Chain A
Amino acid sequence: MNKNVRWKLIVIVGVVALAVWAFYPPGQKVNLGLDLKGGVHLVMRVRTDEALKIETDTTVERLRETLSRAAVQYMGLEVTSPTEFVATGVQNPQAFRQAAAEVDTVFSRTPGAGGRETYTMRPNIATQLREEAVNQALQTIERRVNELGVAEPIVARQRPADQILVQLPGVTDVARAKEIIRNTAILELKIVEMGPFPSEDAARQAYNNTLPPDLIIVPGSEDVAGTGGGTPTTVYYVVRRVAGITGRDLRTARTSLDQNNLPAVGFTLSQDGARRFGQLTEQNINRRLAIILDNRVFSAPTIQGRITDEGQITGAFTQQEAGDLALVLRSGALPASLDFLEERTVGPTLGAASIRSGVAASIAGLLMVVAFMMFYYKLTGLNAVISIVINLIILLGMMAYLGATMTLPGIAGFILTIGMGVDSNVLIFERIKEELATAKGVRAAVNAGFDRVWWTIVDTHVSSLIAAMFLFQFGTGPIRGFATTLTIGLLSNVFTAVFVSRTVFELVLGRRQQVQTLSI
């Protein structure tokens, strides 16, 4: 055997061995997409405006205090949009601006007529806050998904910048998964200023219909857990706008039982939170403490004595609801609520059926192409078959090595690799036939066939790769799987159709001294 050919053979066997090693056993090494193994694909949008609104709200609350300390006179101070607030009736603009200097890093000021000062959030700050909100939401969702115990979940940002993609393989209880992800879980502990009242109007009347700007009315259910029966009625509490203790002060949360042995959520505060909670409760003994979750009072027990680090949220929870609530509290609040934009669920039955039909189509496609090549090119057809099979082995190996995901369209890419890959062999074989007709001898014809077609193969592959590249950036999930398979298949096809196929020719022709004929 020619030394050159021996080296080529070693390279080929090495590549095939590496590829097989990379994907064997395929059941474990090849990642299956959601459309094949079943699961949920969710795309959601973070309402980043809410994060901006919180920033503007807290700024205004702080400013109110500063202004009253500095005794600056003004009529109103109002949040007009998530990124804007307006002060009206400012008597002494100079003094106002000086006192309000603390917000200048975040807001830019536009003076107006009649003592009107408009403050707008600086665009770069707004962008940064939106960015932070999405990242924080991403991390929170990641923690929740991990606590759900889903194997190999994907939580990732995607374009446009406020969207988050979540893929949960094997999850069938979509409603519960969505509830856990969506739950903003903003926990606030506030002292009840007044209430409960049977209606919002009644609450407002208690303040002569003008609620002080630092107070808000929050709905809640009257003692749901305590009565144990009857229809809970909605009541209204008046509490401070800004909470003393929030979910950020939590150290952990877990399911527990309330005094009626019903499921509840117990929580423990962090050291700092416990200190502040201790102060708050000590100063407010015999008043009611509102435990507010997502702007709804869950319970409002009367403070019996100083409480430091332990608390409990009671409500009409089932065991699972209590567990899920503890989970979302542990994983932290979302900075803003979420809109679901897209949801695709594939049941395990359909996924399994897709795998079966995908495999059937691949085998049928391979057999048809092999049959045609053997029929049309006779023994030389075998050469093409070898290169197709090695092409598919390398494709699988690369997919496993790169951790690429095999999706149902990816299987289509697999089948296309068979059909399109063999095109390169056809081009070469047809050229060899033509060269044979000019009676140059078999070896010269084979060499000429490969040499002449090389650049044609490069050009056709480049144009297909260009399309695959745009396909990749266009698509999500399954389509990306297709683009990936197609790209790897095309690249490895250059190796198999040219290098492998030529080596096989050299091996076959090399054995014989005088080559007169070629079965083609």
Chain B
Amino acid sequence: MQILSNTNYNFIRWRWYALALSTLVIAAGLAIIISRGGMPMGIDFSGGTIVVVKFDQPVSEQQVRAAVDPIAGEEVVQQYGDAGDNQWLIRLAQSQTSEQGTNLEVGSQQILDALTKAGLPSYEILSREIVGPVIGADLQRRGVYATLASILAITVYIGFRFRFSFAIGAIAATFHDIIVTLAFLVFFGYDLSLNIVAALLTITGYSVNDTIVIFDRVRENMRSMRRDSLEHVVNVSVNQTLSRTIITAGTTFLSVLSLYIFGGEVLRGFAFTMLVGIISGTYSTVFIASAIAIILSQHKRSPAASAQAAAGRSEAAARPAARPGRKSRGAKAS
């Protein structure tokens, strides 16, 4: 059985449309983010209080809202888990008083007092998270730093293993994926949390994987297709690897989907981020990464022989004893 075997789509001819589409999606994403006043931050980053309680009898959202309404500041009330669980999440933003550590628990105490005073059924505290502003600011800084540093490190690695223009293509695709994912998160009302940043970082590592598979094939084909233009070589490579690009993304998608469905409330944001990232990563691999690699390589490709020699050299250096037959031919060509 084989899906998409021997395809011959001309992906490269579509590269300007693809770039335009992606630019549009990214612009729309940024517009959404900006229109909502920046990326909405969960308490991990903005500080604040979250209390999750489980009532032993059903209560309506109205009742919970009415109970916590008297608390100063803005309260968020959300159903937590399935409707039958009677579980509610109540969130308070960072208040001025909790700047001092000794008063950190004021918010959660207010919530519990309010629930008790409102005469709601008795409840059990499932979890309580209180994050002060110091920690939030520190994590924000470290989250941005970790994401950028990992992208940079991956770029350097790809630049070292392939060529610089390929690295730029891969990294452009990764940035694309991150921004698209962020836009979807905002659109679907997820707040940025530690788990979501973890998913974003995983996406940076994962979205490059498909790209590497294509680049690897491009490098291989460059030796056997010396007379063809780079566009043609890339296009053939994308087509040849198309089925595995889709299957690998598909298996990962399946496993994350099960996480999304069965993994519970805590990991839902994480799973959602991964799902969007996987789809975006597959799209960007096929349409963006190679397009940018070609655009950046174009002036280097002519005359063809010099690029060929360069490819052959890097090949010989990067793959010691990997494939004797091909390698000797590649060495001869260089």
Contacts and interface: CB of A to CB of B under 8 A. Distances in A.
Interface of A: 35, 43-45, 160, 174-175, 178, 182, 338-347, 349-350, 353-354, 357-358, 360-362, 364-366, 368-369, 372-373, 375-378, 408-409, 411-412, 415-416, 418-420, 422-423, 426-427, 430, 433-434, 448, 451-452, 454-456, 459-460, 462-471, 473-475, 478-479, 482-483, 486
A45 B138 CA distance: 13
B101 A44 contact: yes
A478 to B, nearest CB: 7
A364 B262 contact: yes
Given A340-B104, A361-B262, A365-B254, 12 more contacts: A339-B102, A342-B130, A344-B128, A378-B1, A412-B259, A415-B256, A423-B209, A430-B244, A451-B323, A456-B212, A464-B208, A483-B198
A216 B144 CA distance: 49
B251 interface: yes
B247 A416 contact: no
B212 A343 contact: no
B250 interface: yes
At the interface, is chain B mostly helix, strand, loop or mixed?
Answer: helix
Interface centre among A44, A178, A182, A357 (most CB of B within 10 A): A357
B127 A361 contact: no
A464 B206 contact: yes
**Interchain residue pairs A-B with the least CB separation, the first 3:** A339-B101, A467-B205, A419-B255
A43 B101 CA distance: 10
B247 A343 contact: no
A422 B205 CA distance: 16
A486 B202 contact: yes
B251 A372 contact: yes
A426 B248 contact: yes
A344 B129 contact: yes
A353 B265 CA distance: 10
Contacts of B290: none
A343 B251 contact: no
Contacts of B101: 44-45, 338-341
B249 to A, nearest CB: 9
Given A45-B101, A376-B1, A423-B252, A344 B127 contact: yes
B38 interface: no
A419 B202 CA distance: 13
Contact of B130 (A343, A366, A452, A463): A343
B46 interface: no
A419 B264 contact: no
Contacts of A364: 258, 261-262
Interface stretch (B16-24, B67-75, B146-154, B296-304): B146-154
Interface of B: 1-2, 52, 54, 100-102, 104-105, 124-132, 134-135, 138, 142-143, 145-147, 149-150, 153-154, 157-158, 161, 194-195, 197-198, 201-202, 204-206, 208-209, 212-213, 216, 220, 240, 243-244, 247-248, 250-259, 261-264, 266-267, 270-271, 274, 318-319, 322-323
A373 B250 CA distance: 11
Contacts of B146: 470-471, 473-474
B263 A361 contact: yes
Contacts of A478: 194-195
Contact of B318 (A369, A448, A455, A465): A455
Contacts of A416: 202, 252, 255-256, 274
B195 A463 contact: no
A420 B252 contact: yes
Given A343-B129, A416-B255, A419-B254, A353 B208 contact: no
Contacts of A483: 198
B126 A347 contact: yes
Nearest to B104: A340
B223 to A, nearest CB: 13
A228 B227 CA distance: 102
B134 A419 contact: no
